A and B are shown apart, each in its own frame.
Chain A
Amino acid sequence: MKKMFKITTPEGLHARPVALLVTAVTPFECDVQLTYKEKSVNLKSIMGVMAQGVAPGSIVEISAEGPDAEKLFQTITEVIVSEGIGEEC
């Protein structure tokens, strides 16, 4: 499963939004990746995601494989939208 998001926080994916995302996905069993500029990192890794340096206004792809992937997407979409991190696209 995969889904695209547009990042709208004015500073891009910096510490706070990354921490929210990592915290949200860590409890899930499935593997989850964030792809930005053709580079994929483990979304459960705060350092990996921060090192991507995702700029504001850019599009990222989140993909997950595993038994609870559907539930994971529900949660992550909710976090991204309600915390003002980005929007679905």
Chain B
Amino acid sequence: MLEIQGIAVSQGIAFANAYCLKEPDLSYEEVKVADVDAELVRFKATVVKTKTELREIHEIAQEKFGAEKADIFAAHLLVLEDPEMLAAIEAKIQAGVNAEFALDEISNMFIAMFEELDNVYIQERVADIRDVSKRILANLLGVEMVDMNHLASEVIIVAKDLTPSMTAMLDTKYVKGFITDIGGKTSHSSILARTLEIPAVVGTKNATQNIQHGAPIIIDGTNGKIIVNATSEVSSYYMQQQRLQIEEQEELFHYRTLPSLSADGCSVEIAGNIGKPEDVEFVINAGGEGIGLFRTEFLYMERQELPTEEEQFQAYKSVLEKMQDKPTIVRTLDIGGDKHLPYMKLAAEMNPFLGYRAIRISLTQQEMFRVQLRALLRASAYGNLKIMFPMIATVDEFKMAKAILLEEKQNLENNGCTVSKTIEVGMMIEIPSAAIIADLFAKEVDFFSIGTNDLIQYTLAADRMNENVSYLYQPYHPAVLRLIKNVIDAAHHQGKWVGMCGEMAADEIALPILLGFGLNEFSMSASSILKTRAHFAKLSKQQLMTHNERILLLSTSSEVEEYVKKNQLSLS
């Protein structure tokens, strides 16, 4: 028995025999060619042959994955037909080198050009150029490309890497999972595995060397484990795990369309955190009831200058339209601290987390702030927008930010622009000073959203990036819990609602406490939504509330954890 560890990228457990894909040998020699015309004819004929192959794959992919996913092959065909690339290759051949060398040279030149660009979307397309030129090269050399069309029994694919065209040929009737030597969570094949809902483990480094073709293997895509030649004991353990997972999946799936209710019928909102407009899909698929935190930093990062109002407007509008009437909370720019924008030239600071960041920058560099607010206000006509300001420490800061927002709103309306009349304006609670005077803030805001990561680090005065003090990152520290309770009570007293958008909102120990405290909205990564909703369905809010007082009197984080476990609050 052999155990291999890799990166878990698509969950599930599967049993099947290994199907090892060998990379075709595409090595060639650079040679001088005397008969240039014959070489040109050979190259052109190969391009035609490759085109036919790609069209077939495109059709198969369309049937199997739908038009959108198959688009990648339409793009491959465009690369193959690219007049500039073909002309450059042909010119090289005309200069007297063989087609293999000419092709490799020119495609590498384009790859280098793409990699230099600052645009990640285009950098990702390098894989397509590689894929296409490999395919032509294989045809030039008369080497058979890997073919998975002839599978007749269930297998788990083992490969160095899966190219987009290989994955397009994956037939889930037979392919029960795959394992690769390289790759990460966001590589093309990993995303595809999640779409196909088959287990996958990538980044194993040397699975192809250690797994024999045809060997019986177990893949555990949840924990990133592969077992080769399992003993019957290990086998039966995984069979049981597989059954449990399937049952859990079925149970969770059932919660997708259900409202988030506790066992005693109290309703909460479970929302998703997103960083990019595309992430909305994951939240919708998981049955999220809103977006509790849309971080807008991504719009400003990995670029040379500030994003324009129009670009931001399009990004916000696309999210709001997809969410329809569900609430979408957008946080204004939270830059500074550990997040930097090269083009903004912020000075290095001794204590960046206590320094010039977030709303502090927005209030001094108002033109940048106003551009973002205008984009948000214009987009508000397309959905249910709520706006919140990060890192508010004083009531004056909030009032000033809100006044700027209202001024921009007035200007837009004067210019005949449609702006929603019902935009709620709230703030993040991340700084202890704000949490302590939440009663005073509650008169000014429409809602609070508690950002636990920063609130914990500021309350315990412990830099969360510093490993030497990481033991002080204590979500259940009584000071943190008391602050949270204070914020919730202060808001409710003024008839306002409170959400939470930090990691704590999906924490199993924290959930019963927060529900008992009366938190209204829980925002988390999309993958935690269904699990949390299922958890809530088991909890009784009325019963949990009776524990509030005792929990708030506990003196350490570990006492709180023990209390929750001992009283089985997570199962009440």
Contact = CB atoms under 8 A, between A and B. Distances in A.
Interface string A47-66: 11011010111000000000
A86 to B, nearest CB: 10
Given A16-B71, A55-B303, A57-B311, A47 B121 contact: no
Contacts of B315: 10
Contact of A51 (B78, B83, B117, B304): B117
B310 interface: yes
A50 B118 CA distance: 12
Nearest to B305: A55
Contacts of A41: 84
Interface string A1-12: 000000011111
A7 to B, nearest CB: 10
Nearest to B117: A53
Interface string B111-135: 0011001110110110011000000
Given A47-B79, A48-B84, A15 B307 contact: no
Interface residues on B, range: 20 to 34
A14 B84 contact: no
B110 interface: yes
Given A19-B71, A57-B307, A46 B117 contact: no
Contacts of A48: 82, 84
Given A8-B314, A45-B84, A53 B122 contact: yes
B118 to A, nearest CB: 7
Contact of B122 (A10, A19, A50): A50
Contacts of B203: none
Contacts, number: 75
Contact of B85 (A45, A55, A57): A45
B277 A10 contact: yes
A56 B74 CA distance: 24
A51 B123 CA distance: 10
Interface string B426-449: 000000000000000000000000
A51 B110 contact: yes
Interface string B267-302: 000000000010000000000000000000001000
B78 A22 contact: yes
A82 B340 CA distance: 36
Contacts of A12: 119, 121
Prevailing SS type, chain B contact patch: helix
A75 interface: no
Interface string A24-48: 0010000000000000011011111
A16 B128 CA distance: 13
Contacts of B82: 45-48
B266 interface: no
B146 to A, nearest CB: 24
B75 A14 contact: no
Given A10-B277, A50-B122, A51-B117, A23 B78 contact: yes
B129 to A, nearest CB: 7
**Residue of B84, B118, B128, B303 contacting most chain A CB atoms (<10 Å):** B84
Contact of A57 (B110, B117, B308): B308
Interface of B: 71, 74-75, 78-79, 81-85, 110, 113-114, 117-119, 121-122, 124-125, 128-129, 277, 299, 303-304, 307-308, 310-311, 314-315, 318
Given A50-B125, A53-B118, 11 more contacts: A8-B310, A9-B314, A15-B121, A15-B128, A19-B74, A19-B75, A19-B78, A44-B83, A47-B79, A51-B114, A57-B310
**What are the 4 closest A-B residue pairs judged by CB atoms, nearest first?**
A14-B121, A45-B84, A53-B117, A57-B308
